[in-house]
Amino acid sequence: MQDRPPSSSSSPIQRLIEAFNRLPGIGPKSAQRLAYYILRAPADEARDLSAALVEVKERVVLCSRCQDITDQDPCRICTDASRDPAVLCVIEEPLDLRAIERTNSFHGRFHVLHGVISPSDGIGPDDLKIAELLVRLNGPDQEVREVIVATNPNLEGEATAMYLARLLGPLGIKVSRLARGLPSGADLEYADDVTLGRALEFRQSVE
């Protein structure tokens, strides 16, 4: 059942609570706390929040190369000449890129899929940024010699890794997977830096 849009007769505070409640991970009580925090905050703080929301929708785009979110296209990582162009790390979401960057263990480039293959959720390969990945590997990024599939170690992540391994095999590109330093079912976003760094260092080939 879909959420009903806020009624035009709702009070401003109720509309704000409903808006916060539609955010992922925000329940009714958290939505109320956020709304009343905004209500008690200085007007300038509320205006800054409003301006930041508008700016992120107007200025942030997907990088035409790696599909990461960015305010410049191509993004800073794609245009960084110090990065190793021969190694490409494929990840599920932009937050995973930030997690890997915090380890200082990876110095190649990235490609963001924006999801994983999940038939139960109606998500197939065509719903991900896999076509864009193939365009990269067959075009400007032909120098790529290894693709690290850094999807999460759960059923959907493993299925996506195996699909990519079969897809990229004919291209003569080595396909590796993060080592099992990551606990099964965990998300990269919440992994500690040491564990994630070791998983990158001891990555394994996908057979």
Radius of gyration of the chain, Cα coordinates, nearest whole angstrom: 20
pTM of the model: 0.74
Q: Which domains does the chain have, with CATH numbers?
A: 12-59 (1.10.8.420), 69-205 (3.40.1360.10)
Structure tokens at 207: 């057979």
Q: How far apart are CA 48 and CA 65, in angstroms?
A: 31
**DSSP conformation letters of 75-132:** -TTTT-TTS-TTEEEEESSHHHHHHHHHHT---SEEEE-SS--BGGGTB-GGGTTHHH
SS percent in the chain: helix, strand, coil, step 5: 45, 10, 45
The two most distant CA atoms of the chain are separated, in Å, by 62
189 SS3 class: helix
pLDDT at 188 (0 to 100)? 82
Each of the 207 residues of the chain gets a pLDDT tens digit; together they read 445 554 445 799 999 999 999 999 999 999 999 999 999 999 999 999 999 999 988 889 999 999 999 999 999 999 999 999 999 999 999 999 999 999 999 999 999 999 999 999 999 999 999 999 999 998 877 899 999 999 998 889 999 999 999 999 899 999 999 877 667 677 888 887 867 887 887 777 776
Q: How far apart are CA 165 and CA 206, in angstroms?
A: 7
pLDDT at 1 (0 to 100)? 44
| Count of residues in the chain | 207
Nearest Cα neighbor of 160 from 108, 203, 123, 135 is: 123
C-alpha distances out from residue 69 to 18, 87, 96, 112, Å? 27, 20, 12, 9
